[in-house]
Chains A and B, each alone.
Chain A
Amino acid sequence: MQSILLTLVLAPLFGAVVAGLWRNQVGRSGAHWVTIIGVGISFVLSLYVLKLYVVDGQPIYNEAVYTWMVSDGLRFEIGFLIDNLTAMMMAVVTFVSLMVHIYTVGYMHDEDGYERFFSYIALFTFSMLMLVTANNFLQLFFGWEAVGLVSYLLIGFYFKKESAIFANMKAFLVNRVGDFGFILGIAAIAMYFNSLDYAEVFSKAGSMADTQIHIWGDTSWSLMTVICVLLFIGAMGKSAQMPLHIWLPDSMEGPTPISALIHAATMVTAGIFMVSRMSPLFELSETALSFVLIVGATTAFFTGLIGIVQNDIKRVVAYSTLSQLGYMIAALGASAYAAGLFHLMTHAFFKALLFLAAGSVIIGMHHDQDIRNMGGIRKYMKITWITSLLGTLALIGFPFFSGFFSKDAIIEAVGHADRFGAHYAHWLLVAGVFVTALYSFRLYFLVFEGKGPRDEHAKAHIHESPWVITVPLVLLAIPSVFIGWFTIGPMLFGDFFKGVLYVAPQNDVLSQLGAHFHGPLEFVKHGVQGLPFILAMSGLLVAFVLFLLKPKWAFDLRVRFDWLYTMLDKKYWMDEIFQTVFAKGSVLLGTVLWKGGDQFLIDGVAVNGSAHSVGALAGVMRRLQNGLLSTYAIVMIVGLLGLLGWFVFK
């Protein structure tokens, strides 16, 4: 088993190293073959592992590969924990990654740095696999930071563009704010559990449930709340939750394939994966779960709103991703971890599809990304059009599509939750359905329907993308449509996550829902009678009217509600606030400390002040050294050597 797992994890790394270090030797096709084969091996093995666990019911595998170090009785190890959750994540990650690898052959065809790109995405796959297979917090943090590194490299892939290299630094630093919380959470675990091993920590968690600690003065805090909030701050960075979401829209500076792979399907869901993994800890803190719930729901609704006014095709999808991540996080906050993971999986397929389809459109439009210039593309790019439509329907939660099952389950679960903030969260999530449908179909109508493209030259040259691009679209469209129907039963209400996720009986909203679950068909029948379905359809309808039928109305509305439009267009001014307070503030603080502290107080007053008083001495020294410097030194050294050397060799 260990050799299978090592091959599975290391195959993409091998590809990355070969394509990266020997890029001149292997050339372009060598680079894409070595990485595609590497990731392909991973994918096949992931399927095999998935079969072992899901079909054959293999027991949980938890073994160390090697000991990183032992210090002070604390063992730091690198090892694998394989259970149904890991098996599912590996399959999703390697599948989407493989699709993106193949797609990239077409998308990056004419770009410089082709080999570098393949090296990076294979390295990303390796890092993500390390993250999901970890059996301890150290390795989790390794994977966590490694995916951040690759994300940094890929957002800045076009390193000549000022906006790209600004975006990648911003992404890294905002993520580091999250990691700041994360590492403190790990430190707290290391202190109170004296271990970083998942199994050991989880088994001791129950006995720590009532531990109180003092952080500031005499107010006591529940240890579990402190740990979980700190860990979740890490998730807020990686999974782009408000207010740490600001890096994700900017990350669209990276090439489209990585937007699909990293900034939609896999890396950004690491936070959801992590919180689910830590469910035995989070279940012990009602406060932390409420915090998670509120942050998730807030992100889901308010970032979705911004998506309505975006005009860059990738940014619309990016805000949609933020919003959907918010849904997943909210599910976790409602203790419906399985629902969050279920949505993670369906979303990985349809959002990767939407991004890759957007990329296909961008190629068709010769790298014009403004949706106002598009239109009528369905006539020219049939496969892209149909797969996009399928992806959009999945995203808005159209009945029978995968997104319908996962989103409806989250809303139902949050509705059943009995926890501070649940009511607030529920209504935001329900309203979010309307918003989702509105921005999704606005995008769809503006891009694919109606007349266009606006530019005659573009219109004349637009054509469907090559097969390396369309085949991944088709392959992603299949699970986007069907996977919800087939997996909702076992994943949400069955025992797929049994022994993996821990939910306290009083929090178990999914089992309450499960009591009424009688197969996917009944689920759909029940769903279409609910408010979310009506809202989704009205969102679709409104989008149809405003952006296809009567565009003038949309314009009138925008003028009428100018304040709202400006607020959304400016993204609640959060970028500006962060830029001013943190970026400029830090530079200002640094300048003050440097000029005021180091230069004025320490050097000016203290050092040179005393130096002036011993100025005479300095003068003498300078005269002594003048011209005689080397003589002086050599005399000293020879003296020293003579003294010591005489002794040594006597």
Chain B
Amino acid sequence: MSADLPILSIVIWLPIIGGLLVLGSGDKAPNVSRWLALFVAVATFVLSILLWTGFDSSTAEMQFVEKAAWIPAYHINYHLGIDGISMPLILLTTFVTILVVIAGWEVIQYKPSSYMASFLIMEGVMVGVFAALDSMLFYVFWEAMLLPMFLIIGVWGGPNRVYATIKFFLYTFFGSVFMLVALIYLYFQSGSMGILDYHTLKLGMTEQILIFLAFFVAFAVKVPMFPVHTWLPDAHVEAPTGGSVILAAIMLKIGGYGFLRFSMPITPDASHQLDLFIITLSLIAVVYIGYVALVQSDMKKLIAYSSISHMGFVTLGFFIVFMIASNENAETGAILGMEGGMVQMISHGFISAAMFLCVGVLYDRMHSREISDYGGVVNVMPWFAAFMVFFAMANAGLPGTSGFVGEFMVILASFRANFWFAFLAAITLIIGAAYTLWMVKRVVFGDVTKESVAGLDDINAREALVLGSLAVMVLVLGLWPAPLIEVMDASIKNLVEHLAVTKL
């Protein structure tokens, strides 16, 4: 393994430094900054592939580890490393960033260099979140993530962006304050800032519950889980397309990642104790939010609600492990549920990105997100319509697309926990198809009755490239999810075994 080359550091810092260069290149020659940004994004992605090729999927140990003292007085280390849980998420991040850069190519005319720079910096910071193994480092990246996103929505957002950014900022900031308190408490208990040290730290039940709740607030807001989800539709509606893509495809996953890296392993007994609580919230997300999505008249809001509903599968898949383990009729299934949640995260990264990009394609042409302003788009944009129907089907969980895999695994697993969990989760088959296809019917199909629609041009090569590459990913993952499961298998197994041991 190329242990000498600090790949993780490079994948974090290359886009950040590249972003600063892009920022410095200014807006006088926007094409220079665009190409520079694309070059940085592609280079980062190519380097991140080394993380996959060099990855040893037989072990749950952290790999590509880099560790050095950062602020020794407080035992804070610059400690990076990845396992099968974080590695796919990092690849998702580097992949989607390229698409965002391409998608914003001609569309962003206002301060394009700052726009590109924000996304590149965002990329580095998000990879940092996934790779950090020191809790302070994690926290720094976690908070740093807010700023570029805050700018993206605040500068390139829609008319009501001030409200949306403040809501977004307050929600996530509110959550992270609790997390900080929990991390400081853990530091005082263990004398270490290492996340992995916290995994083995003995904690009493009350401590665990309080820590769990503190983490829960932070991660539930990010996912987002019902009832702290209402910032998301507002943020999406105001965000520019690229912002929505990053928000839905990557940032939400950080909440799910947090549950796997912090909540569950650090406080397994509290997780066990409170699992029904989380499961209930997840199922509410799947069903309740599904119905709410049905009646949205704004495409972005609809997809935002759909995201919340899909993320419900992630938390459901994670937290059913305890009930499956205690069900004597089910031999296995805990790993299935967790891996299902992970696959759902990756898949949702592709599909939600694609759906938001589809809306972006329409928005760039019509400057409207209202479903009622469209109708009969297929008549003038046949290729776009093909993509949109394809991604809609993926969003509705059609087998053969990645959207099916995670949902299927989680439904199979939740049946082992309780018949009614599976029953409620499977309602997504109907309601998910209903809100997605109803939107498709009103936007894509039908005759052209509006003059504005009649003048639309089909997607250009740039847009086709972006949507096409996502379509390939959705299809590949749907037809052959084995490689993805393989890389995460050892880590998830290790986590499930860890959860079975009480810390009391």
List the interface of chain A (C-beta within 8 A of B): 66-74, 141-142, 144-146, 149, 152-153, 156, 159-162, 165-166, 169, 172-173, 176-177, 179-180, 183-184, 186-188, 190-192, 194, 213, 215, 586-587, 589-591, 593-594, 597-598, 602-603, 606-607, 611, 618, 621-622, 625, 629-630, 633, 636-637, 640-641, 644-645, 647-648
**Residues of chain A with a CB closer than 8 A to B480's CB:** 66, 68-69
Which residue in chain A gives the minimum CB-CB distance to B397? A145
Contacts of A606 in B (CB 8 A): 227
A187 is contacted by which of B288, B399, B411, B482 (Cβ under 8 Å)? B411
Whole-angstrom distance from the CB of B286 to the nearest CB of chain A? Answer: 13
> Could you say which residues of chain A place their CB within 8 Å of the CB of B162?
622
Query: Looking at the complex, which of B45-53, B55-63, B146-154, B263-271 is the stretch in contact with chain A?
Result: B146-154
Q: Which of B30-38, B351-359, B418-426 contacts A (4 or more CB under 8 A)?
A: B418-426
Contact A180 B339 (CB under 8 A): no
Asked whether, in the complex, the Cβ of B489 is within 8 Å of the Cβ of A71, the reply is yes
B332 near A73: Cβ-Cβ < 8 Å = yes
CA distance A156 to B444 in the complex (A): 12
Residues of A within 8 A of B340 (CB): 71
B201 interface contact, C-beta 8 A: no
Distance in Å from the Cβ of B84 to the closest Cβ of chain A? 13
Residues of B within 8 A of A142 (CB): 399-400
Note all chain B residues with C-beta closer than 8 A to A146. Answer: 398-400
16 contacts between A and B (CB under 8 A): A66-B480, A69-B482, A71-B340, A71-B489, A72-B334, A72-B335, A145-B400, A159-B446, A184-B422, A187-B415, A188-B415, A191-B412, A587-B294, A630-B114, A637-B144, A640-B144
B230 close to A184 (CB less than 8 A):
no
Contact partner of B339 (CB less than 8 A), chosen from A67, A71, A618, A647, is A71
Q: How many A-B residue pairs have CB under 8 A?
A: 183
A141 close to B295 (CB less than 8 A): no
B227 A618 Cβ-Cβ under 8 A: no
Of chain B, the residue at the smallest CB distance from A113 is B382
Q: Bound complex: CA of A152 vs CA of B227, how far in Å? A: 35
Other-chain residue from A589, A621, A648 in contact with B9 (beta carbon distance below 8 A): A648
- Name the residue of chain B whose CB is nearest to the CB of A196: B412
Say if the beta carbon of B281 comes within 8 Å of chain A.
no
Residue pair A165, B445 in contact (C-beta under 8 Å): yes
Question: B344 to nearest A CB, angstroms?
Answer: 13
Known: A146-B400, A648-B9. A165 touches B481 (CB 8 A): no
Minimum CB–CB distance for B240 against chain A, Å: 16
Docked-complex contact A603 and B230, CB < 8 angstroms? yes
| Cα distance A650–B268 in the bound complex, in angstroms | 39
Residues of B within 8 A of A176 (CB): 429-430, 433-434
Whether B426 lies near A173 (C-beta < 8 A) is no
Contact B292 A594, beta carbon cutoff 8 Å = yes
Give A31 Cβ to nearest chain B Cβ, in Å.
15
Q: State A586–B292 Cα separation when bound (angstroms).
A: 9
Q: Which of B78, B148, B398, B438 contacts A644 (CB 8 A)?
A: B78
In this complex, the member of A587, A621, A630, A637 whose beta carbon has the largest number of chain B beta carbons within 10 angstroms is: A637
| Selected contact of A598 from candidates B70, B230, B294, B404, CB within 8 Å | B230
A180 and B430 contact, CB distance less than 8 A = yes
The answer to whether A183 and B70 have CB atoms under 8 Å apart is no
Bound complex: CA of A645 vs CA of B411, how far in Å? 45
Q: Which residues from B are CB-within-8-Å of A586?
A: 291, 294, 431, 434
**Does B195 belong to the interface (CB within 8 Å)?**
no
In residues 296-348 of chain B, which contact A (Cβ within 8 Å)?
296, 329-336, 339-340
A2 to B407, CA, bound (A): 31
Partner of A630 from B151, B408, B445 at Cβ < 8 Å: B151
Point out the residues of chain A lying under 8 angstroms from B16, CB to CB: 641
Chain B residues lying within 8 Å of A640, measured Cβ to Cβ, are 140, 144
Residues of A within 8 A of B170 (CB): 611, 618
